[in-house]
Amino acid sequence: MTHTLLTKLGLDKHPRIITDVRGDETPEKDNIILSMNPATGKPIAGVKLDGKDDYERITANAVEAFKSFRKVPAPKRGELVRRIGNAYREVLEELGSLETLEMGKIKAEGIGEVQETIDIADFAVGQSRQLYGKTMPSERPEHAMKEQWLPMGPVGIITAFNFPNAVWGWNAMLAAVCGDTCVWKPSLMAPLTCIATNEIAQRVASEMGYENIFQYVIGTDDIVGEPMIRDRRYPLISATGSCRMGRHVGSVVAGRLGKSLLELGGNNAVIIAEDANLDLALKSTVFGSVGTAGQRCTTSRRLIIHESIADDFCAKLVKAYETVTIGDPLADGVLMGPLINEQSVVAFEHAVKTAQEQGGTLITGGEREVKTGELAGGHFVKPTIIRAPKSNDLPMAHEETFAPILYVFTYKTLEEAIDMQNSVDQGLSSAIFTGSSNSAQRFLDPSGAGSDCGLAYVNLGTSGAEIGGAFGGEKDTGGGRESGSDAWKAYMRRQTCTIGFSDTLTLAQGIKFE
């Protein structure tokens, strides 16, 4: 399976990839990082790491390529992105399956993620003809004012393991139509997906005569990560990862007066009112909490449910969890794959134990899912539900654990529920299930008194954002916006232009200087 996938994607003879590797090899040996299959605990392939000289060469190439690429008309850059999207369509299943093999999300989700990159490519094609500025009236006679948006420069894109294709796509497709070059630093837990994805994009670009538009640098934080965020040649760093990582990146980039686009952690809540469609709420909550084995930044981590329906709903939730098939994410019928590595399993176990010590009641899951045969070395856990004590005081629920743990709280009034939802440091995604238009509107209060998150859903779960809307969150989530709406503005610089066509000098604010 592995060799077939690599062959179909043209990676079987790639100079950076070593297919003949053993599980006892280490990243330090021959400067190689191992891409591991989290479902088996065995290596898929080895990838040669970049060093300081490689980083310098790649960055210099990006700077030089930008000088000519920014002069290409935006609709022509859109044509490049259109062809890239079509190239991904040709390998949709193969690229999605490679991601499943390397990251562990089920095949449907892996393919869906690649589809998301295709969708944002389609969006970016249209955007390439809509990079609009404004015209503004001047206060001076025979003067005109306008603003225009200009290419910014090389963009450094740092991605996490859980979305090793689409998050790059959100950034790179928009950055490309904006006239920027891209250098991608992927997670060392998903280097193969990066190589396959980037190679396709740059092949298409090369065929159109554009070299070094899409590049990647695969290396450790100290060798390539730190130099990238400190490098003034990158006017924008787009970083996806933990809140801790984002604070560091944001601080360093701000220190050189660069710009950051940060997509960090989430601790997302679902509010279920007593008048909700409970069947819809149940299905959405299960997907939101179990999808990608709880390793989405938009995963539903807290359930805030009206006290009058909590017991019955939790009983149904437990039964639904029991039907979730856990196993090989490439197999048909499997709904939940493994966690990314053993450290994640340990963090899962620690969170469960700590929550119980704080008064939480474990009502299902809470332990490893033991497998045999080929999957014996996999990092599987059981989806878990923990009910908070009556006091609703459960400190562990304020921490984001990248695992399928759902904490259940109860409420009496909607104001109380919204306050509970907003009580965590992160502010990414939020949801309410209700049949009341008044409750829905209070949740979406235009004064800002409702959900404090960047994403707010009514009668939908917290996961599954569409590419047409800007994606991102507030507070410790970083404030960044990627993907749709006017997120393209993050990849350009604004210039205000004033044109005088008079023979008389006229100063603003009525100033006379004669």
Domain ranges of the chain: 2-264+478-494, 268-469
Q: What would the CATH number be for the domain defined by 2-264+478-494?
A: 3.40.605.10
pLDDT digits (tens, 9 = 90+) for 165-174: 999 999 999 9
Pair type for strands 268-272 and 300-306: parallel
CATH fold for domain 268-469:
Aldehyde Dehydrogenase; Chain A, domain 2 (3.40.309)
| Predicted pLDDT at 27 | 53
Strand partners, 487: none
pLDDT digits (tens, 9 = 90+) for 229-288: 999 999 999 999 999 999 999 999 999 999 999 999 999 999 999 999 999 999 999 999
Q: Is the pLDDT of residue 418 over 90?
A: yes
Q: Which of 243, 297, 314, 453 is catalytic?
A: 297
| Predicted pLDDT at 60 | 98
Model pTM?
0.96
Identify the band that residue 29 occupies on the pLDDT scale cut at 50, 70 and 90.
low
Which range has the worst mean pLDDT, 15-19, 336-340, 353-357?
15-19
Q: Which residue is it, tokens 């850059």?
A: 77
Q: Is the pLDDT of residue 499 over 80?
A: yes
Residue with the bigger pLDDT between 463 and 28: it is 463
CA distance 118 to 89: 7
Identify the band that residue 3 occupies on the pLDDT scale cut at 50, 70 and 90.
confident
Pair type for strands 429-433 and 455-458: parallel
| Predicted pLDDT at 273 | 98
| Predicted pLDDT at 1 | 66
CA distance 507 to 381: 70
Tell me the Ramachandran region of residue 510: left when phi exceeds 0, alpha when psi lies from -120 to 50, beta otherwise: left
Q: Is the pLDDT of residue 55 over 70?
A: yes
Q: Which DSSP letter does residue 206 get? A: H
At residue 91's C-alpha, the angle toward residues 85 and 92, to 5°, is 75
Q: 193 vs 14, 94, 355, 381, CA distance in Å?
A: 13, 11, 35, 24
Average pLDDT, the chain: 96
pLDDT digits (tens, 9 = 90+) for 344-377: 999 999 999 999 999 999 999 999 999 999 999 9
Structure tokens given for 128: 């390439």
Region 127-149 average pLDDT: 97
Q: Is the pLDDT of residue 491 over 70?
A: yes
C-beta separation of 489 from 149 below 8 A: yes
Residue with the bigger pLDDT between 513 and 450: it is 450
Identify the band that residue 25 occupies on the pLDDT scale cut at 50, 70 and 90.
low
CA distance 187 to 208: 29
Helix (H) or strand (E) holding 61: helix 52-69
Any catalytic annotation for residue 263? yes
Region 425-446 average pLDDT: 98
| Predicted pLDDT at 28 | 52
End-to-end CA distance of the chain: 81
| Predicted pLDDT at 180 | 99
Identify the band that residue 2 occupies on the pLDDT scale cut at 50, 70 and 90.
confident
Counting every residue, how long is the chain?
514
Q: Is the pLDDT of residue 124 over 70?
A: yes
Q: Which of 94, 109, 113, 263 is catalytic?
A: 263
